[in-house]
Structure 1
Amino acid sequence: MQTHIPLQTDRDKTSSSGNTSREVQHVFFLKVHKAASSTILNIIYRFGYTRSKNFALPRKRNYIDLVDRGNVIPIPPNNSYDILCNHLQVFSYPKVARIMPQDTVYIAIVREPFERLHSSFEYYRNELHRGYLMKATGTDPFRRYIQNPMSFEPLNPIDSFTNNRMALDFGYPSGNINGAKNVQKFLDHVDSIFDLVLVSDVFDESIILLRRRMKWTMKDVLYIPKNVRVSPLNISFQDYNRSVVDSNILRLDIILYDHFLGKLKREISKAGETFVEEVAYFQTVRHRTQKYCSKTAPPMNLKFPACKWHGRFEVSSKDCWLLVQEETPFLELLRNVQKDRLGLPSQELPKLYDAKKMRLFGKRG
């Protein structure tokens, strides 16, 4: 039996959360590539882990294939899946709805398309060495790529992480991706499915809208940014214009992004002055938490007194350990927890938490 961090007790939950009976328990999160989705994933992982929820998890790697149910780790009899939040091979609402409860809340995230394109290019070329992107060479490979992106793109758009990838992640048919037919019908379809689409460029506001929609606590939605990579982007207006206007490579993503950015801004404007105050307060709490968690095994908990946005709660070293977890080790932890419930053999893990010996995390962006 592997060692893992103890779950919160009911007493812990009550002191930090107050009444949890109204909180949303069933969640689907569409993990869009390179759109701050790993940070949201950590929030959802922590929520489900501390409440012993059943995750729909892939047996291997971090993609889940709902066509092949054998790819999904089973759960105990007479249970249902509570949370599905890993990358999907292809998003299909009917396939998701088939395994998730009827009261599931559907959320997703989008990012400014050109920034997402650049981030995706850097990651999939320089770290994962995707073949089609490795063909862009020279002193500035990204500039060379966007001067004629379609000359580098794979024939099948589903194999691309740069060609309107957000639209593909939302389920737009790959065969029509560059023709962009029936776009309004597609937007209406997405609107009918998703209860809330976050925008990474308006991140803290998105988090507070998420908190309100899910009726989660302030502690639940604290985060420390994940996968933050900053690389210089020296692009002329001509190059940018060539990529965005002359090529169809971002056409659908721009339409999708503008749609959900406008929708989010309208929700914020309707939320009133208290929303602005809550965002500012949340930023203060988050910054204090990140500073606290940057210490090596802090001896005393960080305490937040009750206020109009939350009951009294504390952040401990254990909480910090969860906050800083990257996707892969957290996923492995969840896999092993769920295998334990089934009595299945699980990979033996090293001791995951030792406050006296373990530096909680290094310098991060």
Structure 2
Amino acid sequence: MLHRNMAKLSRYLMIACLVISIVVIETILMNVWRYYPARKSEEDVPVKIGTTWEDLANYKSSASPNAAIITVPSLDNIIVNPCSYQTDRVLCQPQNNIVFLKTHKTGSSTIQNIFFRYGEKHNLTFALPKRSNIAGWPSLFHPGYLRDGVPKFKKYNIFAIHCRFYQVGLKEIMDPSSVYVTVLRNPVDQFVSIFNYFEPQIQKSLNITGDILSEFLAQPEYYFRPGKSFRLVKNPNLFDLGMPVEDSDNQTAVREKIRELDRIFDLVMITDFMEESLVLLRHLMCWDLEDIVYVNLNVGIEQKTRKNEAKEKAKAITDWNKADVALYEYFNATLWRRIREFGVEKMDCEVRHLRQATDKMYKSCLGNSSDATQPLKVLIRVRQSLEVNMHIRITLESIISQTQILQYLCNH
């Protein structure tokens, strides 16, 4: 009897060991599969056959059964092997709640597109404005400027549209765990870009003809009228970040505002060091390399002319925008401190692989990596056509079409 019981116990132990072994092996394989995904075939990227530009224009929502379903392109076939320094998924979880304060003429459309692409990929919810791509600007943000106002049940995952920063309003619609991100640009280059991009509006508000930037900088105090002039002609970054223009000449108020922003924002990216900023963003968000591969959007075409213009007028611009200069210098120094903490060699490695991945994406989609503005020109021409000729409202649906059009080019 004892022998039979021992034999039976032995069989049970063998079965238990076998089950445990299967579970362990399955867990190992799942982790290997997660970090080294199999290359997808073209069939794994569902693109509706026969998609036309009209389909893109009529696109409503990826959740709509009648929409032209065009997914964000799979980058598995074009991303190089990632750097040995990877985001450790054991120690962190991907962040899905994001507040991105979109500033003017800082490369923010490029970053916005990254957030939209990530949100679409993971079926996240977006805060959308009632009109255009702006939530109440130049007024301080209020949930009433959103298409759906304050969400009734679950708060939004992603806020990545133009607004004038007001955290009290944002807290009403966003999860408390939201990561706060914004971007700044060298104030000289930004100021020149603003005057080029918004020339008609600035010309009208300042009543200047001819070379409006030169005329304005010759006597800015004469032309500038608080509350009446175009809002971005003095310290535009601090204005976007919620500071009244009349306070930007008060050094104490500026220092307090910078400290406040430093407490609120988890990352302030710098356009002039976009790749380094994106690497820090990737690790802050616990994302993958493919999540931050990007296409430059809304970049000016005549960049050489603008750079020469910026050099000639640098002193006049910085003298007029001293508060923005102080803001930029503070967060630029903060960025480089974070890079040193991250590790310079580690950063060089990740930037190198990001460039390789971006270059491969350009080659795969447009067959040419030498002209980094080529996809930009294609996307902007199409987007302007959709906006102007077809009177499309610029909400999430039409903004996402930038990504869809790129994928359309990649797959046709």
Following the alignment from structure 2 to structure 1, what is the Cα–Cα distance between the partners of residues 88 and 266? 25
CA contact (8 A) 1:57 1:335 kept: no
Gaps of 5+ in 2: 1-63, 369-377
- In the alignment, which residue of structure 1 is the partner of 2:316? 242
CA distance in 2, matches of 1:336, 1:35: 17
| Amino acid of the structure 2 residue aligned with 1:113 | P
Letter in 2 for 1:132: S
Distance 1:104 1:183 in 2: 25
Residue identity matched to 2:142? V
146-155 or 79-88, larger mean C-alpha shift: 146-155
Match of 1:80 among 155, 160, 163: 155
1:131 is aligned to 2:204: yes
Q: Is the 8 A contact 1:26 1:103 kept in 2?
A: yes
Structure 1 partner of 2:47: none
Aligned residues: 312
Distance in 2 (alpha carbons) for counterparts of 1:264 and 1:18: 22
Distance in 2 of aligned mates of 1:71 and 1:284: 38
Q: 1:353 to 1:276 in 2, by over 3 A?
A: closer
TM-aligned CA distance change 1:33 to 1:171, over 3 Å:
same
* Mapping 1:342-357, distance limit 5 Å: none
2:296, 2:94 → 1: CA distance?
24
Tell me: CA distance 1:292–1:170, structure 2 relative to 1, closer, same or farther (3 Å).
same
How far off is 1:236 after superposition? 9.0
- Structure-2 residue corresponding to 1:216: 287
What is the aligned partner in structure 2 of residue 28 from structure 1? Answer: 99
Higher helix share: 2
Runs of 4+ in 1 over 6 A off after TM superposition: 15-21, 321-325, 327-330, 352-355
Q: Which digits, 9 at most, give the CA deviation of each residue in 1:48-97, with x for residues without a partner?
A: 11111111111211111343526332587532211111011x31111111
C-alpha distance 3-18 of structure 1, shift in aligned 2 (>3 A): farther
**TM-score (normalizing by structure 2):** 0.66
Query: Quick one: structure 1 residues 81 and 171, their matched pair in 2 at CA, closer, same or farther if it must change by over 3 Å?
Result: same
Higher relative contact order (CA 8 A, sep 6+): 1
Out of 178, 185, 194, the position equivalent to 1:111 is 185
What is the SS of the residue equivalent to 2:128? coil
33, 48, 65: which one pairs with 2:119?
A: 48
Give, in whole Å, the separation in 1 of the partners of 2:159 and 2:170: 8
The answer to whether residue 350 in structure 2 is matched with residue 278 in structure 1 is yes
Superposition TM-score, scaled by structure 1 size: 0.74
Q: CA deviation at 1:143?
A: 2.1
Closer, same or farther: CA 70–242 of 1 in aligned 2, 3 Å:
closer
Residues 252 and 192 from structure 1, CA distance in 2 versus in 1: closer, same or farther, beyond 3 angstroms?
Answer: same
Change (3 A) 1:70 1:115: closer
Unaligned runs of 5+ in 1: 297-320, 338-348
Q: CA deviation at 1:332?
A: 3.6
**Cα deviation 1:300-359 (Å, max 9, x = unaligned):** xxxxxxxxxxxxxxxxxxxxx99999697795453899xxxxxxxxxxx9xx7798xx65
One-letter amino acid of the counterpart of residue 113, structure 2 = N
Q: Which amino acid letter does the alignment assign opposite residue 4 of structure 1?
A: A
Question: How far 1:179 moved relative to its partner?
Answer: 3.6
One of 350, 360, 384 as aligned partner of 1:288: 360
CA distance in 2, matches of 1:194, 1:157: 30
Alignment deviations for residues 152-203 of structure 1 (CA, whole Å, 9 cap, x no partner): 3232278421210101111112331234442221111111100000000011
Q: Structure 1 residues 85, 172: closer, same or farther in 2, change over 3 A?
A: same
Name the CA shift for 1:71/1:354 in 2 (closer, same or farther; >3 Å): closer
Equivalent residue for 1:97? Answer: 171
Q: 2-side partners of 1:198 and 1:122: how far apart?
A: 23
Does the aligned pair in 2 maintain the 1:223–1:323 contact within 8 Å?
no
Structure 1 range deviating more: 181-190 or 275-284: 181-190
